[in-house]
Structure 1
Amino acid sequence: MVGHNLFYGNKGEDIATKFLEKKGYKILERNYRRIGTEIDIIARDKSEIVFVEVKSRNSRKFGNASEAVTTYKMKNIIQTATAYIMEKSLYDIQVRFDIIEVYFNEKEINHIISAFMLS
């Protein structure tokens, strides 16, 4: 089942990447890994760096995909984003944390801008 989930995750990330590019975002990184965690997509939206978590589901039957982004997951993303900012010396730039939900059966993408904040 892990391979199955990995396939859907990668497919969802590919769809989310194309979606962001069409909106004018510049993709900087995909699957950025540091300190044992990962950020699916790092992009630039005008003057902001956007850290994007992608959640893919076949449908909304069992709730919204974004509900899988727990407080623990948010903390991991923020830690990894901090590592990226330090690595790239991006100290004077606005950052944002978005979630993109991809629903395959509905062929729907839901982009939640500023889904969570630095705490």
Structure 2
Amino acid sequence: MNNKEKGRLGEKIACNYLIKNNFHILEKNYRTKIGEIDLIAYKENKILFVEVKSRKSINYGYPSEAVNYKKQRKIISTAKQYIMYKNIKNMDIGFDVIEVYLSDNDINHIENAFCVN
């Protein structure tokens, strides 16, 4: 399985996890010129912008460690465009990271992994 296939599988697992936890999926792989957001979900007046990171092992570090400052800024900028485009007002927003461990079939949902400064 190549990295792209691992990524797609991880996103599918994360999407199913969110649905099982009563989230409504608004977008998958939302793209702009600035960047991409893997999943955009909604629950109880809150919109989540979710970055999904998948790994077979932690030999090269935890998946969330790949969501560095530069990646966070791209996600935040893309989220701002989404909010403006959809004319979203009076809603809470969050930036989460979902780590998917493919070898263990395990998920770690990191809520509010980063925020807008």
Shorter chain as denominator, the TM-score bin is over 0.9
Alignment pair present for 1:22 and 2:20: yes
Q: TM-score, normalised by structure 1?
A: 0.95
Task: Could you tell me which runs of 5 or more consecutive residues in structure 1 were left unpaired when the two chains were aligned.
Answer: none
Task: Could you tell me which runs of 5 or more consecutive residues in structure 2 were left unpaired when the two chains were aligned.
Answer: none
Match of 1:105 in 2: 103
By how many angstroms is 1:58 displaced?
A: 0.2
**Matches of 1:15 and 1:68 in 2, distance apart?**
19
Question: Structure 1, residues 57-83: CA drift from partner, whole Å, max 9, x if none?
Answer: 001222210000000000000000000
Identity of aligned residues (%): 46
> How many pairs were matched up?
117
The one of 87, 90, 112 equivalent to 2:88 is 90
Alignment pair present for 1:38 and 2:36: yes
Which of 27-36 and 65-74 deviates more?
A: 27-36
Deviant stretches of 4+, over 2 Å: none
The one of 47, 54, 57 equivalent to 1:56 is 54
Match of 2:11 in 1: 13
